[in-house]
A and B are shown apart, each in its own frame.
Chain A
Amino acid sequence: MSAVVRDMTPADIGAVLTIENKSFPSPWSRLMFEQEVYAESGRAWLVVEHDGVVLGYGGLALLDEAAHVMNLAVRADCRHRGLGRALLAHLARRARGMGARHLTLEVRERNRSAMALYEAAGLKTVGVRPGYYSETGEHAVVMWSDDITHPGEEARLEELWNRAELDLEAYPDVATGHSAPLVLGIETSCDETAAAVMRGGTELLSSVIASQVDFHARFGGVVPEIASRKHTEAIVAVVQEAMEEAGATFGDLDAIAVTHGPGLIGALVVGVAYAKGLSLATGLPLVGVNHLEGHIFANPFANDDVTPPLVALVVSGGHTSLVHVPEWGVYHTLGETLDDAAGEAFDKVAKVLGLGYPGGPVLSSLAEEGDPAAIDFPRAMLRSGDYAFSLSGLKTAVINHIRHEREAGREIHVPDLAASFQQAVIDVQVTKATRAAKELGVQWFCLAGGVAANKLLRESLHETLSAEGVRVSVPPLDLCTDNAAMIAAAGTWRFLRGERLYLDAEAVADLRLDADDASLKT
């Protein structure tokens, strides 16, 4: 497949900005590109694309008889292949069509390769604007072409285009897809302060979680629990640790991904503010990730062939959501808990049984020794016909059971109670998960979130869904609970899609998963 040049559309701006940010010390903003692309007349903006990937772009504005080339850039790893010349030749063709007689532009005095390109296209230096680029104090070299409507000149530009195409044919592997960007992920949506570095969205170079490092020894600090202040204390060290472990510097990164919701606002803002600051200081593009989407993206770490359409069950201390994912980035929440989250129910029942808080994992291991049929706890919403969950009634049933047994002077058999409770939770989850997977006809089912570490839930889903011909994916154990690797993974995907957060972006405590795909489609 060879490269093509076509008009730039608003959908290209994300990809264009990625190249822009890496090409120029003071890149254009999204708004500037939007104003150009949406301009009514007197503009021509083109992209050169290979296999759906934007490799370069350029644009001009017509002023009287001169077409001003306003911007032109080619992705760093695709330079010296004639793509810049191809773009320029096409722009010249457009300029001619718009009635221009000359091409003109300004170029940084130190940008020798750009000047060489323009000279090869027949532009000549006509003057200098001293100190034109204020950030560096560089002069601008003003270049001007001969009359492009002159037949000789026209032929020369055609030739330029032909050679460019030939050049590209000589390098058929120029852009076989996406490059493998290095992305830093940051997560502070609730209790954990975490950072991770990934290459290409698949290769995990580091994943640091504050509560899991010996912070006191290393940084003389405390482990963050709930608090935004604790996140603030930890974030710098956590990011530093992740960068060190990955053997990378900020200069090596291609993007920063951060959880911008949902979660506790005071915790979220710490990560978002830090990421924005880092983006501002380094010029790196910033990508926002929905925390629940992050959990789903923990699955490809265990199964690299997971692909939508799929159904995901995100079960954690704060969430119980069944989600249909027809394609990456598009989410339809099928149902959620109406009251307590599954992980919360585990932790609270553990507390009632005197196992401490949060005791969900302890409860699950005790359950292994108990009889799951000992007590017939209610299976709420099992036959509700929808995908909603309710766990508060089960919590209450356990509390009532304990009260009745005490009143009757009977001992409570904790393993039996734990096993019966767990079975009641899992029965409903598995039934609804299976029904959703069948109804939507998906090939894959992904479990995600802290409760995905529950052994019985994993096994039951495997058993039931496999029988239906649905493949089940569960994340690696250490990526079930909150972490930043999943944020880096989802962030890489969004980054490659051209998604960006801008500096006016804010953390959104109740960020919806479903709302996100609307913004993706712009």
Chain B
Amino acid sequence: MTRYALRTSAEEATVAAGRALAPLLQSGDVILLSGDLGAGKTCLARGIAEGLGVGHPVTSPTFNILLVHPGRVFMNHFDLYRLDSPLQLEDIDYWGTLEAGGVSVVEWGDRFAESIPEDRLIVAMTITGDEERLFDLDACGGRSERLASAWIEACSSIAGATLEGGGQP
């Protein structure tokens, strides 16, 4: 298991962090986003989508639960906020969609133990100021750990994003 912490000082830095993650992603990857309302999950997802070459603004999937965006690799943008039971994961074909490919970004992704894949990358976002957000990366499993460390490295050159401490194996 690896942990990293990243701080962004503006919305644009969060979007840029998402954009920096995109080139590292391949079909089958799943990124879980967690954190309170307004933490910046959709902002980060927007950055990832931009980086994947999605040509339109990525809106909040809360109501629709799943919005699929075509890009270099297509992106499944899930939001589990409105689900109130892990049983509903089956109803929305959560695992089927994840396994069918594309990059999957899941807001409120740690809402249920059942929604977390074995090899997991969770980005827990906290509001630390009006314009400031702290991301805690929790990576577990070969693919997710490699992804997290490559992403953190890619973020080092983003203005307004600062890395807090190093990876702790």
Q: Do A339 and B83 have beta carbons less than 8 Å apart?
A: no
Interface residues of A in 414-462 (CB under 8 A from B): none
- Determine if A229 and B60 form an interchain contact, defined as CB atoms under 8 angstroms apart: no
> How distant is the Cα of A343 from the Cα of B38 in the complex, in angstroms?
16
Interface centre among A263, A264, A336 (most CB of B within 10 A): A264
A521 to chain B, nearest CB (A): 24
Q: What's the least CB distance linking B71 to chain A, in Å?
A: 13
Query: Is the Cβ of A318 less than 8 Å from the Cβ of B64?
Result: yes
Neighbour of B88 across the interface among A227, A357, A392, CB < 8 A: A227
Interface residues of B in 44-93 (CB under 8 A from A): 57, 59-60, 62-68, 82-84, 88, 90-93
Q: Is the CB of A403 within 8 A of B127?
A: yes
How many of B's residues come within 8 Å of A, CB to CB? 25
B91–A227 CB distance below 8 A: yes
Inside 8 A of A399's CB, which chain B residues have their CB? 36-38, 127
The answer to whether B64 touches A227 (Cβ under 8 A) is no
Query: Which residue from chain B places its CB closest to the CB of A395 in the assembled complex?
Result: B38
Residues of A in contact (CB 8 Å), total 35
In the assembled complex, A76 has its CB within 8 A of some CB on chain B: no
Q: How far is the CA of A264 from the CA of B57 in the complex (A)?
A: 18
A229 to B90, Cβ gap below 8 A?
yes
A303 touches B (CB below 8 Å)? no
Convert B84-121 into 0s and 1s, putting 1 for each residue whose CB lies closer than 8 angstroms to a CB of A: 10001011110000000000000000000000000000
> B144 on the interface (CB 8 Å rule)?
no
| A228 with B93, Cβ < 8 A, contacts A341-B60, A395-B38 known | yes
For B66, list chain A residues within 8 Å (CB): 264-265, 509
Residue contact B68 to A510, C-beta cutoff 8 Å: yes
- Which of B42, B68, B91 is the most central at the interface, judged by chain A CB atoms within 10 Å of its CB? B91
Within 8 Å CB of B127, what residues of A? Answer: 399, 403
The reply to whether B88 and A264 contact each other, CB–CB distance below 8 Å, is no
A 209-226 binary contact with B (CB < 8 Å = 1; else 0): 000000000000000011
Question: Is the Cβ of B88 less than 8 Å from the Cβ of A225?
Answer: yes
- The reply on A499 being an interface residue by CB < 8 A is no
Please tell me if the beta carbons of A339 and B38 are within 8 angstroms of each other in the complex.
no
* Docked pose: A83 CA to B43 CA in angstroms: 64
Contact of A339 among B42, B64, B65, B130 (CB under 8 A): B42
Collect the chain A residues with CB atoms within 8 Å of residue B82's CB.
226, 357
Q: How far is the CB of B55 from chain A (nearest CB, A)?
A: 13
Check A226–B38 contact: CB distance below 8 A.
Answer: no
Task: Please state if B59 and A190 are interface contacts (CB–CB under 8 Å).
Answer: no
Nearest opposing residue in chain B for A338, CB measure: B57
Please tell me if the beta carbons of A340 and B88 are within 8 angstroms of each other in the complex: no
- Tell me the chain B residues, 97-154 only, with Cβ under 8 Å from chain A: 127, 130
Given contacts A318-B64, A400-B130, A509-B68, contact A226 B59 (CB under 8 A): no
Q: Which of A316, A337, A343, A351 contacts B59 (CB 8 A)?
A: A337
Could you tell me the distance between the alpha carbons of A399 and B38 in the complex, rounded to whole angstroms? 7
Nearest CB in chain A: distance from B9 CB, A: 15
Total of A-B residue pairs, C-beta within 8 Å: 78
Residues of the B chain whose Cβ atoms lie less than 8 Å from the Cβ of A341:
59-60, 63
Q: Is the CB of B38 within 8 A of A396?
A: yes
Q: Nearest chain B CB to A272's CB is how many angstroms away?
A: 15
- Minimum CB–CB distance from B91 to chain A (whole Å) comes to 3
Complex interface residues of chain A between 395 and 411 (CB less than 8 A to chain B): 395-396, 399-400, 403
For B84, what are the chain A residues with a Cβ–Cβ distance below 8 Å? 225
Q: Which of A318, A351, A509 contacts B37 (CB 8 A)?
A: A351
Residue of A nearest to B90 (CB): A229
CA distance A413 to B93 in the complex (A): 42
Is there an interface contact between A338 and B92, defined as CB atoms closer than 8 Å? no
- Say how far B56's CB is from chain A's closest CB, in angstroms: 10
**A264-B65, A395-B37 in contact; A226/B42 too (CB < 8 A)?**
no
Q: Do B92 and A263 touch across chains, with their CB atoms under 8 A apart?
A: no
Residues of chain A within 8 A (CB-CB) of B88 are: 225-227
- The residue in B37, B43, B59, B90 that gathers the most chain A C-beta atoms within 10 A of its C-beta is B59
| Bound CA span A395–B39, Å | 11
Report how far A352 CA is from B92 CA in the complex, Å. Answer: 26
A119 to chain B, nearest CB (A): 60
Residue A309 CB within 8 A of the other chain: no
Contact B90 A344 (CB under 8 A): no
Q: How far, in angstroms, from A134 to B66 measured CA to CA in the complex?
A: 47
| Bound Cα distance A223, B18 (Å) | 38
Determine how close the nearest CB of chain B comes to the CB of A445; give it in whole angstroms.
24
Q: Tell whether A317 is near chain B: CB-to-CB under 8 Å.
A: yes
CB distance from B40 to the nearest CB of A (A): 9
Residues on B with C-beta less than 8 A from A338 are 57, 59
* Residues of chain A having any CB pair with chain B under 8 Å: 190, 225-230, 262-266, 316-318, 336-341, 343-344, 348, 351-352, 357, 392, 395-396, 399-400, 403, 509-510
Seen from chain B, the residues whose Cβ lies within 8 Å of a Cβ on chain A are: 36-38, 42-43, 57, 59-60, 62-68, 82-84, 88, 90-93, 127, 130
Q: What are 5 A-B contacts defined by CB distance under 8 Å?
A: A265-B66, A266-B92, A340-B60, A392-B38, A392-B43
Top 10 A-B pairs, shortest CB-CB distance = A227-B91, A318-B63, A317-B63, A399-B38, A229-B91, A396-B38, A340-B60, A338-B57, A400-B130, A266-B93
> Told that A399-B127, A509-B67, A510-B68 touch, could you supply 6 new A-B pairs with CB distance under 8 A?
A227-B88, A265-B68, A266-B92, A343-B63, A395-B37, A395-B38
